[in-house]
Structure 1
Amino acid sequence: MTTDPGTRRRVPAGAAVLREDVTDAIRGAVFEELAAVGFARMSMEGIARRAGVGKTAVYRRWKSKLALVLDLVSAVAVQGMPAPATGSLYGDVRAVLELASYALRHPVASQVIPDLLVEAARNPEISDTIKAALLDPQQGIAAVVVRDAVARGELPGGSDPDRALDLIVGPLYWRLAVVRAPLPKGYLDDLAASAVAALKAN
């Protein structure tokens, strides 16, 4: 019996075929479970129940809840956030604050991020992944904002991007993630102006 070379090769019997819709459902369930119970109380069983799949479907894709969460956080890092290019330091800072505030006010992210930061203090593996997903991209954006501002003559040469990031995002994170207070009208405008003034004062 000959095989037509144009015929598509069949998947071997018994081979695991991972359906994308099931994988997507599990990923969505992880974020919901993290927001609901936190990393410490999260379980593979709870994730499977929330996703509407069997526990085996979860373990077939990830060996543990740590591996699952690290994979999802790493995926967020790949998506990234583009550096603003508004043509002014104030405009760039205001754009960064707008995007950051949107992320921090998201109902799931507002629960997940603080919880993962607590776990990162206990687990170096989580810490490294969180750094790659959250800190490194933000540092890259701050570096671009500072570089462009220096090129336009708005900031002096040698301005520190890390200090800029602290001044821009630090107060916003404190208010939204730690204090959990609402943002008054015009808050982001005022914060952007204050951050720019502080950067220029350097």
Structure 2
Amino acid sequence: MNRRAPSGAAVLQPAITAAITDAVLAELLERGYARLSMDGVAKRAGAGKSALYRRWRTKQEMVLAVLAKISVPLADPADTGSLRGDLRASVAAVATWLTEPPFSRIIPDLVAEATRAPELAAAIANTVGEPRRALARTNLERAIARGELPADTDLEMAQDLMAALVYWRMVVRQAPVEPDYLDRVTDTILRALGATLT
């Protein structure tokens, strides 16, 4: 016997969620995190504010849920069969995440906001940063299992290194990136980690 949902039950319609997601990204690009509002997102999405609050309790929760849904899968590590191949794919993914729209404009804004709001910084780390790092850690654990990295490799430091070179060059310095830049980054990381490649 099929039961109908009670008439007052909230049903999260995928089309509305998609419209809200698009609206959040558009508002972040146009207004930045500080000026983004639930009212503005609802208006742009063509939805009532109640549709937003059925999904998320706060602006912060909404923004980070949208960003995590898109950006965390981008860190899913490629399994190329070698540490060098895996690292090259990972640094390329970081470069894409940092330099292509919409994240190329959204991330610097969020980083700036996070420096002024410790609770936002913690939420970004928990919602976006740590899930991305957990995926990236898989590359390094596979390399240890294959004997390409020492068993005592500092995985936290290695993950920082994988992103730091690209972030500093492309986002902080906004320096030119030569065609072989990501290859050189990969080789630098391999040397720094004391990789044994066959």
Change (3 A) 1:191 1:45: same
Q: TM-score, normalised by structure 2?
A: 0.81
Q: Which one of 117, 121, 137 corresponds to residue 123 of structure 1?
A: 117
Judge which range, 76-85 or 111-120, deviates more: 76-85
Which residue number corresponds to residue 103 of structure 1? 97
- 1:21, distance to aligned residue in structure 2 (A): 0.8
Verify the 8 A CA contact 1:74 1:132 in the aligned structure 2. no
Moved more, 129-138 or 109-118: 129-138
Which ranges of structure 1 fall in alignment gaps of 5 or more residues? 1-5
5 Å-filtered alignment, 1:165-184, equals 165-184=159-178
**Which letter maps to 1:118?**
A
Given candidates 72, 83, 88, the residue that maps to 1:89 is 83
**SS across alignment from 1:85:** coil
**SS state at 1:159 partner:** coil
Question: 1:77, 1:137 within 8 Å by CA — same for their partners in 2?
Answer: no
| 1:143 and 2:153 aligned | no
Superposition pairs for residues 37-56 of structure 1, below 5 Å?
37-56=31-50
CA contact (8 A) 1:77 1:133 kept: no
TM-score (norm. length: structure 1): 0.80
Residues 43-68 of structure 1: per-residue CA shift (max 9 Å, x gap) = 12221232233444434443432231
Counterpart CA distance in 2 for 1:175 and 1:117 is: 16
Matches for 1:38-77 after TM superposition, within 5 Å: 38-76=32-70
Distance in structure 1 (CA, Å) of the matches to 2:139 and 2:72: 20
Describe the shift of the 1:19–1:135 C-alpha distance in structure 2 as closer, same or farther (beyond 3 A).
closer
Q: 2-side partners of 1:59 and 1:148: how far apart?
A: 41
1:84, CA displacement in angstroms?
Answer: 2.9
Equivalent residue, structure 2, for 1:154: 148
How much identity, in percent, do the aligned residues show?
Answer: 42
Structure 1 window deviating more from structure 2 (34-43 vs 78-87): it is 78-87
Cα pair 1:97 1:169 within 8 Å, conserved:
yes
Counterpart of 2:173 in structure 1: which amino acid?
V
- The answer to whether the aligner puts 1:28 opposite 2:27 as a matched pair is no
Residue by residue over 1:5-30, the C-alpha shift from the partner in whole angstroms, topping out at 9 and shown as x without a partner, is: x3x43443444444321121011110
Q: Work out the CA distance in 2 between the residues paired with 1:96 and 1:179.
A: 21
How far 1:155 moved relative to its partner? 2.6
- Structure 2's unaligned 5+ residue stretches are none
Return the offset for 1:105.
2.0
Instruction: In structure 1, give the amino acid aligned to 2:139.
Output: V
Larger Rg: 1
Q: Distance in 2 between matches of 1:148 and 1:19?
A: 39
Match of 1:193 among 178, 184, 187: 187
Whether contact under 8 Å (2:37, 2:59) holds in the other structure is yes
Q: CA deviation at 1:172?
A: 0.5
Q: Given residue 29 of structure 1, which amino acid in structure 2 is its aligned partner?
A: A
